């Protein structure tokens, strides 16, 4: 369990408790087998954020989500969701939360529309007179209108996942929790989910999206938390996290000037030089990119291109752990 080791997972600066849709303190889950699935994590999910909850399969993401929703009790620590402790306040909190966890479960012989109607009927806060309208709107939002009368057992994996999203969208929610929402979806379906998440966030919904596919979530999230072996390794504003990574500058020049450009970059104190064809790359460090371009131009060297590349989230994860996202715990 948590051993007091300092990690980079500090709470976002300036985030007061009232500004957070989700807050956990030392949240831990140890199973009877002795396995520690979640190890003392302090999540900070700002209201209105799209929070990418990222990590390899088996890193503790789903167990954390189940504790947030009151489906599993923590061994120690606690979670506050929409301002209330969970699971004690589940009856008040959960009607304000839409969730898709570990894949949807529906009645196989009922149609997609009928399955949504059954879910809607058990919501005490829902007006039964508008149930059909809510169901049809949810089906339309996830692209299942044409399959509304088709039995669930005939749905493909991607269609089942879409129906699970529709169930989470039956009512307006303050918080939407999606566990691997693109599982089983084709590229078009994945793009539609990204668009839907952005749309919900624009309307003020806080969205927590759990995934092991960094490249997909990186395109839509405003904040990230990266899990590894049950611990929260990194957390914060996505732009700030990637900006503080080791940036590289790539200078493209003519073939006869490659050696001179390499010398100029070395003279500026840049390290990690690499030459590939007519491109010279180096770690930028604290040197402003405009200083690099000015130095090259003032030396009378052909400057055919200049690019600054910052690491993406997966590269940051690899730097932290030495592992890629295809590993499982």
Q: Quick: pLDDT tens for 245-257.
A: 678 899 999 999 9
Mean residue pLDDT across the chain:
87
Q: Quick one: what percent of the chain has pLDDT higher than 70?
A: 90
Residues 226 and 267 occupy one common structural domain: no
Residues 256 and 296 occupy one common structural domain: yes
Residue 11 pLDDT more than 50? no
Residues 125 and 234 occupy one common structural domain: yes
Q: What is the pLDDT, as a whole number, of residue 12?
A: 44
Let me know: does 280 contact 262? Beta carbons within 8 Å.
yes
Residues 167 and 141 occupy one common structural domain: yes
Sign of CA dihedral 155, 156, 162, 168: positive
What number is the average pLDDT over the span 229-244? 86
- The domain that contains 283 carries what CATH number? 3.30.70
Residues 60 and 80 occupy one common structural domain: yes
- The domain that contains 140 carries what CATH number? 3.40.50.300
Longest dimension (CA), the chain: 77
Q: Of 60, 77, 1, give the one whose Cα is nearest residue 210.
A: 60
Residues 202 and 304 occupy one common structural domain: no
- Asked if residue 323 belongs to a domain, the reply is no
Residues 176 and 89 occupy one common structural domain: yes
- Count of domains for the chain: 2
Residue 6 pLDDT more than 70? no
Domain residues for the domain of 300 are: 248-309
pLDDT band at 23 (very low <50, low <70, confident <90, very high): very high
- pLDDT tens digits along 275-327: 999 999 999 888 999 999 999 999 999 899 999 887 777 777 777 666 665 54
- Cα of first residue to Cα of last residue in the chain, in angstroms, is 15
Residues 196 and 218 occupy one common structural domain: yes
- Asked if residue 2 belongs to a domain, the reply is no
- Asked if residue 316 belongs to a domain, the reply is no
Q: Of 4, 79, 10, 3, give the one whose Cα is nearest residue 234.
A: 10
- pLDDT tens digits along 119-135: 999 888 888 899 999 99
Q: What is the pLDDT, as a whole number, of residue 313?
A: 74
- pLDDT tens digits along 99-155: 988 767 899 999 999 999 999 998 888 888 999 999 999 999 899 999 999 999 999
Residues 199 and 132 occupy one common structural domain: yes
Q: What is the pLDDT, as a whole number, of residue 268?
A: 94
- pLDDT tens digits along 42-74: 999 999 999 999 888 889 999 999 999 999 999
- pLDDT tens digits along 195-234: 888 888 888 999 999 988 777 777 889 999 999 899 999 8
């Amino acid at each position: 369990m948590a051993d007091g080791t300092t990690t980079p997972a500090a709470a976002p600066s300036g985030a007061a408790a009232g500004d957070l849709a989700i807050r956990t303190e030392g949240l831990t889950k140890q199973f009877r087998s002795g396995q520690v699935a979640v190890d003392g994590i302090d999540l900070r999910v700002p209201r209105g954020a799209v929070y990418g909850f990222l990590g390899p399969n088996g890193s503790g993401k789903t167990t954390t989500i189940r504790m947030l929703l009151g489906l599993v009790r923590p061994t120690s620590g606690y979670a506050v969701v929409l301002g209330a402790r969970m699971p004690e306040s589940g009856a008040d909190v959960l009607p304000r939360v839409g969730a898709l966890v570990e894949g949807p479960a529906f009645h196989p012989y009922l149609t997609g529309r009928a399955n949504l109607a059954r879910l809607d009927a058990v919501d005490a806060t829902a007006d039964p007179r508008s149930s059909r309208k809510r169901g049809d709107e949810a089906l339309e939002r996830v692209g299942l209108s044409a399959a509304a009368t088709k039995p669930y057992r005939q749905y493909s994996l991607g269609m089942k996942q879409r129906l699970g999203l529709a169930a989470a969208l039956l009512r307006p929610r303050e918080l939407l929790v999606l566990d691997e929402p693109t599982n089983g979806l084709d590229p078009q379906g994945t793009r539609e989910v990204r668009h839907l998440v952005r749309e919900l966030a624009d309307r003020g919904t806080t969205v927590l999206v759990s995934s092991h596919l960094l490249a997909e979530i990186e395109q839509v999230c405003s904040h990230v938390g990266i899990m590894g072996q049950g611990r929260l390794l990194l957390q914060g504003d996505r732009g700030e996290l990637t900006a503080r990574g080791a940036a590289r500058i790539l200078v493209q020049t003519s073939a006869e000037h490659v050696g001179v450009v390499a010398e100029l970059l070395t003279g500026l104190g840049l390290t990690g030089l690499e030459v590939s064809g007519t491109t010279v790359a180096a770690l930028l460090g604290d040197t402003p990119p405009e200083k690099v371009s000015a130095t090259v131009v003032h030396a009378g060297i052909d400057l055919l291109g200049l690019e600054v590349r910052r690491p993406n989230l997966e590269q940051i994860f690899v730097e932290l752990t030495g592992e890629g996202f295809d590993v499982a715990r």
